[in-house]
Structure 1
């Protein structure tokens, strides 16, 4: 294992260390589901704190500038922040959906073909609902439809 691979494998996701598979352990058994529940809840908490910071920042920074250029600049900054928070709000919904899948013991399986999504992919993107191959096909279809 290279130094870079060791560094990547030791990195935590939202403060939760990567899952270490035990020999003979079944895929998406209770320990694995518990791990991803921790990861997703920590990620959701990080996002929620960001929302609170945005609201506080906007309250503190809100000013009535006499100069139209200053006012426009501030409005653009706020618009960018709000767009970012909107994406995070959608991500929180996806995290909640994923937490429900874990609770229903349906997490970790490709919604398209039904095979295991895989631990590495889920560590990289805990809300993934497609295996690598199905995701690749979906992205190709999306590009094709987008060009038409």
Structure 2
């Protein structure tokens, strides 16, 4: 049976079903692929907009304002490029059967956390410990 045929459109992963069963895996795969497609479409539109917007503006203030807008847009796109690589990594974890499990403890990551942040690699507790250690080392 193909995954597409057993996943209803309104499906939501539930705690009372086996963790990372076929339906949950397919749900998160689709969520990640849709997110990636949305980002790539936004990037395509931005590139087209930047190419169209490359014009000679005589007023120095207007030109500076436009260049600032372009710089912000490019920084946003760079963050999104990094996000796409994290989405790709999550899709690889799905293919390898490792998706949904904390890379630190090996314990399942909560479905709520995965639904909110499908690229999560750590359980909430492991993430909090990691951030506390980072903060302590940053303060040194």
In 1: Cα distance, 2:13 partner to 2:126 partner: 26
SS, match of residue 117 in structure 1: coil
SS, match of residue 140 in structure 1: helix
Point out where structure 2 has 5 or more consecutive residues left out of the alignment: 1-8
Map 1:88-107 to 2 at 5 A: 88-107=80-99
TM-score, normalised by the number of residues in structure 2: 0.88
Q: 1:144 deviation in Å?
A: 1.5
CA RMSD of aligned residues (A): 1.6
TM-score, normalised by the number of residues in structure 1: 0.84
- The yes-or-no answer on 1:80 pairing with 2:68 is no
Match of 1:36 in 2: 28
In 1: Cα distance, 2:116 partner to 2:71 partner: 29
SS, match of residue 133 in structure 1: helix
Match of 2:14 in 1: 21
Structure 1 runs (4+) greater than 6 angstroms displaced: none
Q: 1:45 deviation in Å?
A: 0.5
In 1: Cα distance, 2:119 partner to 2:107 partner: 16
